[in-house]
Copies of this chain bind each other. A is one copy, B any other.
Amino acid sequence: MVKIVLDGFGGDSSPGVNVDGAVLALERFPDLSLILTGDEQLLKKELDTKNYDRARVEIVHAPEVIDVNEKPTDAIRLKKESSMMKGIRLLREDDSIAGLVSIGSTGALVAAAQLRIGRLKNVIRPTFCPILPSMTGGIVGVCDSGANVDVTPDYLQQFAIMGSLYLENVYHVERPRVGLLNIGVEEEKGDQLRKEAYKLLSETGNINFAGNMEARDLLTGKFDLVVCDGFSGNILIKGAEGTALQMMKMIKSKIYSKTVYKLGAGLMKPMFAEIKEFMNYQNYGGSVVLGARKVVVKGHGSSDGTAVCKCIEQARQMQLSELSEKIEQELPEYVKH
């Protein structure tokens, strides 16, 4: 049995989508059991409309919800009775629970995972890793994407190892090509951090280091894993997302500006639907905290039931593939310089 806590609240359409996702996941995975945290009455009401195996679901009452606009450190300190923090407490204290899935506040979840769950052996700091689609039909992971703004080459080495193991074990990417995010591809490019990291990554035997990577190659499929500090990772991802969104918006507004364009777009409807689907990150699973003592998966706030189910599947797969054990085996002993 794989036991996972599902934060029942925190998303744009909670707890409806959370319960939908839970029921879907229970149907798909007979080895799964779930603990749902949140307002007991509301959760029960949602669950009562469904058919599901009651023996594999438990509800733990948590009356509060963390708002996405709350300051993460305040939220985890003050909202102890929130669905997310109650879930974090269960995860920390109950050894039979493998992981936590939440579609609530990213900041609060990552901070709580870092501060409350503890780290795997030799992990300096857990990293936050989202998955993006690449234009060649594959995926690309970005480690770190905002959890660690100040890093050393050792951190980047750990991100590379943990991210590679994650892609291998959960997405079945063989020997992920690791790119060091930099301002040019040549070995000597970038600041001191990047130069030292380049050297260290080149010497790291258990990753497939493919050299420096420029931001323009994020989506080209040349790399499977981007390794970077959390500041530039955040800039990279939000910049790319923002650009894609703005472009689609521009195209849409242009289409509506002329009848002949509307006609043309009508013929291309399935194509635009495909592109929209391609850009829908819910299709690629949630973002994960790597290096924490337990599995933590963050789904998008606008997730629907299918996306929540995908996050649960991801958490289950992380547990079944023994990712944590592999990370502990592969990480070099960390000695602070």
**Interface-central residue, A220, A234, A235, A271, by most chain B CB under 10 Å:** A235
Bound-state Cα–Cα, A71 to B186, Å: 9
- Return the CB mask of A270-300 against B: 1 if under 8 Å, else 0: 0100110010000000000000000000000
User: Which of A45-53, A239-247, A320-328 contacts its partner?
Assistant: A239-247
Q: How far is the CB of A257 from chain B (nearest CB, A)?
A: 8
Indicate if the CB atoms of B238 and A216 lie closer than 8 Å: yes
Mark each residue of chain A from 254 to 268: 1 if its CB lies under 8 Å from any CB of chain B, else 0: 110010110111111
State the Cβ distance, A127 to closest chain B Cβ, in Å: 14
**Chain A 178-206: CB-based contact to B (< 8 A → 1; otherwise 0):** 00010110101011100000000000000
Which residues of chain B have C-beta atoms less than 8 A from A245's C-beta? 216
Number of copies: 2
Say which size band chain A's interface belongs to.
Answer: 35 or more
Residues of B within 8 A of A219 (CB): 242-243, 246
Residues on B with C-beta less than 8 A from A254 are 271, 274-275
In this complex, the member of A215, A243, A266, A268 whose beta carbon has the largest number of chain B beta carbons within 10 angstroms is: A243
13 contacts between A and B (CB under 8 A): A149-B183, A149-B190, A149-B191, A183-B234, A183-B238, A215-B237, A216-B239, A216-B241, A235-B235, A235-B239, A240-B243, A243-B243, A254-B274
A58 within 8 A of B: no
Closest to A217 in B: B242
Check if A115 is an interface residue, CB within 8 A of chain B: no
A232 at the interface (CB under 8 A from B): yes
The answer, yes or no, to whether A176 is at the interface (CB within 8 Å) is no
The answer, among B183, B251, B268, for a CB contact under 8 Å with A275, is B251
User: What are the residues of chain B within 8 A of A236 when measuring CB–CB?
Assistant: 215, 235-236, 239
Q: A71-B186, A217-B242, A264-B266 are in contact. List 7 more A-B contacts (CB 8 A).
A: A183-B234, A214-B238, A239-B239, A243-B247, A250-B275, A250-B278, A251-B275
A246 touches B220 (CB 8 A): yes
Q: Complex: how many Å from CA A242 to CA B241?
A: 11
Distance of A87 Cα from B251 Cα, bound (Å): 43
* Cα(A246)–Cα(B17), bound, Å: 32
A78 within 8 A of B: no
Asked whether any CB of chain B lies closer than 8 Å to the CB of A1, the reply is: no
- A216 / chain B contacts, CB cutoff of 8 Å: 238-239, 241-242, 245
